[in-house]
Chain A
Amino acid sequence: MQPENFYYDNKIVRNFGIATIVWGIIGMTVGLLVAIQMYAPGANLHNQFTTFGRIRPLHTNAVIFAFVGNAIFMGVYYSLQRLLKARMFSDALSKIHFWGWQLIIVSAVITLPLGLTTSHEYAELEWPIDIAITIIWVVFGINMFGTIFKRRERHLYVAIWFYIATFVTIAVLHIVNSVELPVGAFKSYMVYAGVQDALVQWWYGHNAVAFFLTTPYLGMMYYFLPKMANRPVYSYKLSILHFWALIFIYIWAGPHHLLYTSLPGWAQSLGVAFSIMLIAPSWGGMINGLLTLRGAWDKVRDDVNLKFMVVALTAYGMATFEGPMLSLKQINGIAHFSDWIVAHVHVGALGWNGFLTFAILYWIIPRIYKTELFSKKLASFHFWAGTLGIIFYAVPMYWAGFTQSLMLKEFNPDGMLKYPNFLESTLQILPMHMMRSVGGAIYLLGVIVMGYNLYRTMRQGSLVANEGAQAMPLEPAHTLAKESTFHRTLERRPIQLMVLALITILVGSVIELMPTMTISSNVPTIASVKPYTPLELQGRDIYIREGCSNCHSQTIRPFRSETERYGEYSKAGEFVYDHPFLWGSKRTGPDLARIGGKYGNAWHYNHMMDPRLMSPGSIMPEYSWLLTQKLDTTTTIAKINGMRKLGVPYAAGYENIANQDLDKQAKEIAANLYADKIEVKSDKEIVAIIAYLQRLGTDIKANKTATK
């Protein structure tokens, strides 16, 4: 047999590389802006399109799907071709994948500031974009499997299994968490409600971390680290164990995001148990990476790529030890809803994803441009700026998390809350938030320096768009001897490998999701809980549009410190009409589950106009546009119809009179405001949001009055 000549496609790798750098800088800059807004609310630029609730999702989406997403495709397109000794299956599909993904990102940059959001964290994009993501993901899959089918290497290296698991699991997660009923061009309601919606969302959210931020990066680690250290991975057997154990266990751990909520207790316990087990495969992977450097540690001193790699693996180890600890209920009781979680996430994001991406960029760009890195000094500067940036970011956030949580839980000797006003705890941690933004700025500076360094590197070299290579073609499969073991057979059968990976992740998913979805006793109903009135429903959609749930939770945990502060703990039956659920995951401000009736309408009006009028020192942005913008009632019919389709018991034909009810309730609120000398027309958005806020948590109070 004659060896075959072929060419690797480096241009697509370069394109994804540039996109990684550009979106990285944009996403992190938005991150810095939202960090500053946490202590200087005026930094929202007095503009609804740049206010925290709308651009915090822009930051998370940009860094996860634009920065990390493009980095994944860069790493996969580079390593897949070389591990399979084949060019990508189709140049056209590569191009469609690249431009399609950038278009999706641009659509996110436009729609999120406009307030078009599903409110599901890390899945905020509305239904038309969800469909586009699905199509582009399938294009990526066809291109990847097409390349695998025309490969010149019989067995698939472990990195490729991680890529395959990433592809198939993200597809499942995205589809299940995007089952929504469109009620407008960019507006939809989640099919699931309340507890069920929460479970699906955090099954998704946790596994987006697992299969978007972890498995593809582990695959890249298994390819690029041996390349950089110029020695094989420490233990290939450990990498196999790592792979199967990781994908099997990770999928179960989602409920640890919902501890002490009204999610059934058994699901919470299951999530905790598997979270603890996760330490084993995660640390197996980290150790395998670090030990790959055995005998090469002297290189770490001089080689900036390896420096980034070592810190990336260390950050991975720290975050994956901390994660299981945070899932222990007692620790979670303190950490959840606090800045501790923000610190935890950023150790993983800045350390693991960020640093591994930088290492790969510094490694790939000079190689595909056939040149040396422009400046090793600048790269070294980037390394130290990044490392210090992470420390200055994480340490103040840990400190802030502990401080605030402990303050909120503290009682005085008389058995009363020591800090009854939530704001006191907020003011206490402002210095930590300021320092965090300094840490973030240092990290961002490093990334900008990297951008300049790599730009100069590209300028001094020239891109080898098509890199020549030579390899023997595969012998036809029927001529091969039978493999000696099952796993060896599996390593040459991509489809079977994908199916087995799919089954592995479906086991945990099905066991965990199905009972809560199908057994009604898991969600006990409460007779006094009624559907929202049309005005409240419209107000709820404004709450979603403004991203209020980014800072305010709507679920009270059964702790004395919380029931004293917020009222009775939340029950599953209270959320049965909540499409989507709005429990939130962070309390920058107080919980709102029982805010209804706590203050008068006038208080809410003034508070929205300028929060500092009612709560001096508050860091909440002003929502003055709600006072002037007219509520769009043309959508009411579609919304009522949509909700009815999802099982909310609005009477037949109610949609036709819904706006009359809406007007009536709005006029009552406007009249009530007028009594407090506030003149406002009843058709303004502020009236709807007041109606919604005043409704929150009141159903269960009605129940009490009735049973007394």
Chain B
Amino acid sequence: MFKQFTENINSHQIYLLTSLGIFFVFFVVVAVMLIRIRKQHIEHMQGLPLQDTIDPKPLNHA
């Protein structure tokens, strides 16, 4: 069934290749950004949801 897909694709190849190109560049930019992030920062960031500083005596204005 993929035969039909590849046969019909000729006139639209440029769009597929351009979009793949855009995606590739975007992916590389984000990847470089990720590699440059320091480990301590990552640890700080991923710990954020777990650090609740709840007062032991909550006020209740309900």
Contacts and interface: CB of A to CB of B under 8 A. Distances in A.
A467 B59 CA distance: 6
A277 B55 contact: no
B50 A227 contact: yes
Interface stretch (A32-40, A52-60, A303-311, A483-491): A483-491
A66 B16 CA distance: 38
A83 interface: yes
A552 interface: no
A402 B16 CA distance: 29
Contacts of B44: 155
A530 interface: no
Contact of B37 (A231, A270, A464, A487): A487
B4 to A, nearest CB: 7
A7 B59 contact: yes
B37 A237 contact: yes
A463 B20 CA distance: 52
Interface string B1-20: 11011001101100110011
A487 B38 CA distance: 11
Contacts of B41: 484, 488
A248 interface: yes
B49 A157 contact: yes
A462 to B, nearest CB: 7
Given A240-B34, A274-B19, A464 B46 contact: no
Contacts of A245: 26-27, 30
A467 B58 contact: yes
B4 A330 contact: yes
A61 B50 CA distance: 35
Interface string A230-258: 11110011001100110011001000000
Interface stretch (A98-106, A315-323, A468-476): A468-476
A486 B59 contact: no
Contacts of A330: 1-2, 4-5
A464 B12 contact: no
A681 interface: no
Nearest to B36: A485
A642 interface: no
A7 B59 CA distance: 8
A269 B9 contact: yes
Given A230-B50, A466-B60, A468-B55, A485 B38 contact: yes
Contacts of B23: 248-249, 274, 277
B40 to A, nearest CB: 10
Nearest to B60: A464
Contact of A486 (B4, B33, B58): B33
18 contacts: A79-B49, A155-B44, A155-B45, A157-B48, A231-B50, A233-B46, A236-B45, A236-B46, A248-B23, A270-B19, A277-B23, A330-B5, A464-B58, A466-B58, A468-B54, A469-B54, A485-B37, A485-B38
Interface of B: 1-2, 4-5, 8-9, 11-12, 15-16, 19-20, 22-23, 26-27, 30-31, 33-34, 36-38, 41-42, 44-50, 52-55, 57-62
Given A468-B57, A469-B52, 17 more contacts: A7-B59, A155-B48, A226-B46, A236-B46, A240-B30, A240-B34, A248-B26, A266-B11, A268-B12, A270-B16, A273-B19, A328-B5, A462-B60, A465-B61, A470-B53, A485-B33, A485-B37
